[in-house]
Chains A and B, each alone.
Chain A
Amino acid sequence: MTASSVSSRKVLSKIATNRLQKELTEWQINPPSGFTHKVTDNLQRWVIEVNGAQGTIYANEKYQLQVDFPENYPMEAPQVIFLPPAPLHPHIYSNGHICLDILYDSWSPAMTVGSICISILSMLSSSTVKERPEDNDRYVKNCRNGRSPKETRWWFHDDKV
Chain B
Amino acid sequence: MMLLKLVQFTYPNSVYHFVSVDSLSLTNPKFNFNSIHFTFKVRARESSSPRDGGSNDAGDFECNICFELAEDPIVTLCGHLFCWPCLYKWLHIHSHSHECPVCKALIQEEKLIPLYGRGKTQTDPRSKPIPDLEIPHRPAGQRPATAPAPDTNNFLNFGFGGFAPMASARFGNFAVSSGIGGLFPSLLDMNVHGFHNPLYGPRHAYGPRFSSRFHGGHHGHEIFHSRRGHQENNLLKTFLLMFAIFLVLVMIL
Say yes or no: A105-B15 contact (C-beta < 8 A), given A125-B1, A156-B7.
yes
Task: Among B43, B64, B101, point to the contact of A118 (Cβ < 8 A).
Answer: B43
Q: Which A residues between 70 and 119 are near B, CB-CB below 8 angstroms? A: 72, 74-76, 91, 99-102, 105-106, 108-111, 114-115, 118-119
Nearest CB on B from A21, distance (A): 9
**1/0 contact string of A120-131 vs chain B (CB within 8 Å):** 001101100000
Closest chain A residue to B9, Cβ basis: A156
A: number of interface residues (CB 8 Å): 41
- Check if A159 sits within 8 Å of B5, measured CB to CB: yes
B: number of interface residues (CB 8 Å): 39
Say yes or no: A122-B17 contact (C-beta < 8 A), given A22-B67, A110-B64, A159-B7.
no
A39 is an interface residue with CB less than 8 A from chain B: no
Nearest CB on B from A91, distance (A): 7
- Check if A156 sits within 8 Å of B16, measured CB to CB: yes
B46 is an interface residue with CB less than 8 A from chain A: yes
Closest chain B residue to A121, Cβ basis: B1
Nearest CB on A from B124, distance (A): 23
Q: Please, could you name 12 A-B residue pairs with CB atoms under 8 Å apart, sorted by A? A: A30-B46, A75-B90, A75-B94, A99-B6, A101-B14, A105-B14, A106-B14, A109-B101, A122-B36, A123-B6, A126-B21, A159-B7
What 17 additional pairs, Cβ within 8 angstroms, besides A122-B2, A156-B6? A22-B67, A74-B66, A75-B89, A101-B16, A106-B16, A108-B102, A108-B104, A110-B101, A111-B40, A122-B3, A122-B36, A125-B1, A156-B15, A159-B5, A159-B6, A159-B26, A160-B5
Residues of chain B touching chain A, judged by Cβ–Cβ distance below 8 Å, are 1-8, 13-18, 21, 26, 36, 39-40, 43, 46-47, 50-51, 64-68, 80, 86, 89-90, 93-94, 99, 101-102, 104
